[in-house]
Amino acid sequence: MIFRLLFVLFLLKTSSGLAATGAADAARAEFETGNYSAAVKTVTAALSQTPEDASLHFWGLRSYYELRDYGSAVTHGERAVKLEPHNAEYNRWLGRAYGARAEESRSFFIARKVKQAFEAAVHLAPMSIAARRDLMQYLAEAPWIVGGDKTGAREQIEAISKIDAAEGHLARGAYLAADKKWQEAEQEYSAALDARPNQIESYMEVAGFFEDRKNAHEIQRAVDAAKHIDPKDPRLDYYTAVGLILRRNELPTAERLLRSYVANVPQRSDYPSHRA
């Protein structure tokens, strides 16, 4: 009898875990299509049944972050990290949520938590370029009173360069841009292109930087190279349009591409804004 009871309890626990996994997958799918409110509803409903599922809290964090409800993003992020403290991505995104919340509320107390979360992410995943970039950016831009540290930022750049040369150029370019050393930053971003990164996000970062610098030639270089990585990425149309506008060339085509981008691509914090 006792074995039968244990078996039933095991089945119930397994079923609950599978349901939570399915809900997390559903929330992620809704998130990826830009339906952040639906993702929040999915997460909320699932958490009422499995409140200790870290992945559900993570997608709650991500969805609330896109909805610019940074307080709720922090709440879910803290819960995810408490449940799975050794997950580097959970720590990294909690750091991002802290950063957005600190900027919104102008809170030094919360700002100090940003550095702690990013440092935890780097400690847990020292080969993660994303984690090191987030920490580097914070160290480079934050006031010293909340942990800003230019020397520490440069140390992160060196660590990134040892992992991936192209990403090292991007990190150094971002550091120089934060210091408004535009000519040197441009050289680093161009060098990143020459190094042929193997990630689409690297090319999009280059294109975004040169959009700000109004450099149509380098934008087009980034777009052309990115097409070899993922020719269907919707941001390629956006940056192609930006290049055409800067050249004052084929303006009807540029308008068509921008209208298509706004109509078909969901708003995302890591994509060009629809308001740009």
| pLDDT on residue 21 | 77
Percent of the chain with pLDDT over 70: 92
Share of the chain above pLDDT 90, in %: 90
Mean pLDDT of 8-30: 67
Q: What is the pLDDT of residue 42?
A: 98
* 3-state class percentages of the chain: helix first, strand second, coil last, to nearest 5: 75, 0, 25
Round to whole Å and give the CA distance between 172 and 133. Answer: 10
Q: What's the CATH code, domain 24-84? A: 1.25.40.10
Q: How far apart are CA 217 and CA 198, in angstroms?
A: 21
Average pLDDT over residues 157-163: 99
Q: 209-221, pLDDT tens digit by residue?
A: 999 999 999 999 9
139 CB-side CA count, 13 A: 22
Banded model confidence at residue 274, pLDDT cuts 50, 70, 90? confident
- Tokens linked to 236: 């390629």
pLDDT of residue 275: 76
Whole-angstrom CA distances from 107 to 3, 13, 33, 112, 208 are 55, 41, 32, 9, 29
